[in-house]
Structure 1
């Protein structure tokens, strides 16, 4: 593998730990030799949610999932470090790549320089946009394409405020070199425009032809979108001009190994499971814990992966509204809910009591509950008597009632909220549950017009984003309306800290603080399962090779057609 050219001392100082991973092919350990070709049908994580937009400048979190097969990025996950290959990582986190698990995708190499602080990225040779009739002639990827994609995001009226405040400018030094000049260091630099939700690189010609039209899309990635029916399926076919290859069993294979990848939109869970049983889908990426045993009984040959949801779920209490402006009330409601019983009885043990706002997958940032101060641990211990005492001290000896909104789009929440309500009623707190359809639910969240109680879940994203989106003023996911200027300042300091071990300590302190303030009733995080047939090869349940981006994973899968036929499918 080609070694990175950046200076080791500087890299260590900023705690990046990025490996020298920019090679056109990578060595993996596989026990079987691939047979290229074939079609894979996948009911993805978002099988119930249709495509929202094809344009990254719309700042829609799902665009990266849908376009990530053709729009490549500067960086992606180093899949050779997957657990199935003996590595340390599962690659299911929604928007988190550990610093030692990042490889160059369109980046051949990258080097940090100072005075001014900047990152110079060398683009790989061989990456090409194929010819697209009516859109563009075939041509090589150049640095101007990266600059163009970045500037479209920067100038979009839909952009997240402050997202690129750490960047002074992005420019093309020469046709194969992009320079990112930093106004200040930001620890999320790689995520925000490297492997993040909106980091896809596409040519100006696609925008000029009409990027919102799926028929006009074109990219350097392993697959190209060739058919799309909204709410039904998206079909991605092999890009014959793709630059990548993979070495398996000592032999070099051109990527992608598959001819086609088909995303199936299947809203109903029972229909999805039936499609899996019948072999109409090869991978069902998300299976609810309660559906696992029935599938194992009817289809014992299925392969399984288990992963802890990357969505923290909770009952948000608006801290700008009485009685939730009183920390005693918020702490009381936490103690009134028997979280261990929810794990054991509701989830059948298939959940973790403590996994938000930090996720156990965040090595170096996550602390287990037993390492927390007693004031935090008691929020997870069922203690209705102390809850009543705190409510009385706060002026509510007979309890109170409040409205809680919940989305009908989430079956788990529709079942779980009444259980939470039953616990709270035992300490005199009554919930008026108001179910909302997805559109109305989202509108209330965006407009900050939601009720004093809001039952929802939030993606973790990564160790810093989870604190920013959940607890800073004005952030969409801050359903508790939490506000603490000192917390905001300290989080900004953590973002600016270049030494990763120091940053980890800062994030741990901030996490402890916000847990202790209890703006949410912290609830358990369930496990989710992935199921696939054994004819799906070179796969171990990996879900994301960047922020919600599975494309590089699919490019390395192959189908054992003989096995599939012998199994009667």
Structure 2
């Protein structure tokens, strides 16, 4: 943990231009949302403010940038949703802050020597939030549901490799794979839910340290500590996740006491906070990039994509967006994945405006072109990044227009329907596996929103999945990363720094190598 006083470093001409442009853009946005804030407060909002102003250490109010996209843990899409549900649901195993996978719903497990049979022992006495005992039938139901055992598309792509899920007795379940997979354990963080719960999106029941209480759309999501939790109990009894969709209001709400904590706050806002907040610094564990729709012109031409890579300077972007903090990345992998991360790929495209112009001319765009960057308005870091990119691309005659849209619209239009030209967001890994970041680039992958297609990549990825030898698997995953960089699947930029502001009434925030918020570890400072 680092306590920092962060000031904006604006020196170069480019950043002055961008800052001016951004001030105008955000002022307009702020004006609209200030109008909304003048509406009478709802009862839920009033309750949040009263709780925030009272020195009540049994309640924590956490600001989050968007509403949850689904209450069903198996269908949740957004990383912001999954990090909240992490506190409610658990899998057979769950990650810790050190990157280990620890037994959760299962108390122990064994893996056959050929990496094809995974056998789990149900934890003795573990309960669901409704008080019912977890059974091996619940485990089988949850795994089968994600594997598409009813004939539907698997919710977890690697679960298509499951041959059978077998109940051995009242305490043991085995998962048999069609092909060996030494990484399969990392996929078994998927939530175990009651087999009797036909509508998990309406009846939110898990086994985690917190249980669901209530929610108000676009306002809040409330949980309370689960007294019968099998593991270490949560310190804070009640937690409200309050939707803070107006990024410009975060500092005001922190200082005003209507929220106690906000994760991923920009460095510019950190500098505005008083000393009643502790600032925790880590990294977001995501791949921020200018993501391109490889099926639309001109991005269907690799030379155009490479030209954009040569035109962009990640360090300049980092200087503006995060005061130089964060880690530059050159492909779809971030540093927390250790052995898979390849810093040498940062040098595939060093900024070279003339080379970028030559590639555009070769591709038939000597005078550049115009396109749109569609960016979710509730993520200030991504909006700021898009602004800098737009300025940098002017040097090669390319005009990038920025379209800010609401998060739900981004999910439906950009992520699901792929109706976009480009976007700036960050992709995280849902599990402690390189495949969690790379699988979406397979040509036929349902989550391949970039429409990237490469025979070389597909072959390398298939080779990685086919081998159980760790060194071989690592070699093929790195080959995948090299292909993504050289074929310029997207314009990779950085793993953003993560600044977490937490009122000093509380302490104990812990960073994970995944995109989660473990609220159970936060405790009163007194």
> Under TM normalisation by the shorter chain, which class is it?
0.7 to 0.9
- The Cα of 1:66 is off from its aligned counterpart by 4.2
Aligned pairs, number: 466
Separation of aligned partners in 2, 1:466 and 1:378: 20
- The Cα of 1:171 is off from its aligned counterpart by 1.8
- Is the alpha carbon distance of 1:443 and 1:129 closer, same or farther for their aligned partners in structure 2, counting shifts above 3 Å? closer
On the 8 A contact 1:142/1:175 being kept in 2, the answer is: yes
Q: Residues 223-238 of structure 1 correspond to what in structure 2 (within 5 A)?
A: 223-238=210-225
Gaps of 5+ in 2: 1-55
On the 8 A contact 2:285/2:336 being kept in 1, the answer is: no
- The Cα of 1:493 is off from its aligned counterpart by 1.5
| 2:70 equivalent in structure 1 | 53
1:359 maps to 2:372:
no
- Is the alpha carbon distance of 1:144 and 1:474 closer, same or farther for their aligned partners in structure 2, counting shifts above 3 Å? closer
1:555 maps to 2:526:
no
Please give the per-residue CA displacement for 1:201-256, whole angstroms capped at 9, x wherever unaligned: 12234x15x5333xx444433332233333333332232322224xxxxxxxxx23
Out of 308, 322, 325, the residue aligned to residue 283 of structure 2 is 308
| 1:211 equivalent in structure 2 | 200
| 2:503 equivalent in structure 1 | 533
Please give the per-residue CA displacement for 1:61-84, whole angstroms capped at 9, x wherever unaligned: 5664444434332112245xxxxx
On the 8 A contact 1:304/1:530 being kept in 2, the answer is: yes
Separation of aligned partners in 1, 2:292 and 2:490: 6
Out of 182, 187, 200, the residue aligned to residue 191 of structure 2 is 200
**TM-score in terms of structure 2 length:** 0.79
- Is the alpha carbon distance of 1:175 and 1:227 closer, same or farther for their aligned partners in structure 2, counting shifts above 3 Å? same
RMSD value, Cα? 3.0
Q: Residues 43-122 of structure 1 correspond to what in structure 2 (within 5 A)?
A: 43-44=62-63, 47-61=64-78, 64-79=82-97, 89=98, 97=99, 101-113=100-112, 117-122=116-121
Q: Residues 207-356 of structure 1 correspond to what in structure 2 (within 5 A)?
A: 207-208=197-198, 210-213=199-202, 216-245=203-232, 255-295=233-273, 298=274, 300-354=275-329, 356=331
| 2:487 equivalent in structure 1 | 517
- Is the alpha carbon distance of 1:332 and 1:406 closer, same or farther for their aligned partners in structure 2, counting shifts above 3 Å? same
Larger % of helix: which? 2
On the 8 A contact 1:287/1:530 being kept in 2, the answer is: yes
| 1:393 equivalent in structure 2 | 362
Gaps of 5+ in 1: 1-36, 80-88, 90-96, 133-137, 246-254, 564-569
Q: Residues 115-130 of structure 1 correspond to what in structure 2 (within 5 A)?
A: 117-129=116-128
| 1:464 equivalent in structure 2 | 435
For the residue of structure 2 that corresponds to 1:389, the secondary structure is: helix
| 1:191 equivalent in structure 2 | 186
Separation of aligned partners in 2, 1:400 and 1:521: 17
| 2:59 equivalent in structure 1 | 40
- The Cα of 1:385 is off from its aligned counterpart by 1.8
- The Cα of 1:405 is off from its aligned counterpart by 3.5
Out of 173, 176, 189, the residue aligned to residue 181 of structure 1 is 176
Please give the per-residue CA displacement for 1:83-107, whole angstroms capped at 9, x wherever unaligned: xxxxxx3xxxxxxx4xxx1111121
For the residue of structure 2 that corresponds to 1:294, the secondary structure is: coil
- The Cα of 1:270 is off from its aligned counterpart by 4.5
On the 8 A contact 2:118/2:176 being kept in 1, the answer is: yes
- Is the alpha carbon distance of 1:557 and 1:118 closer, same or farther for their aligned partners in structure 2, counting shifts above 3 Å? same
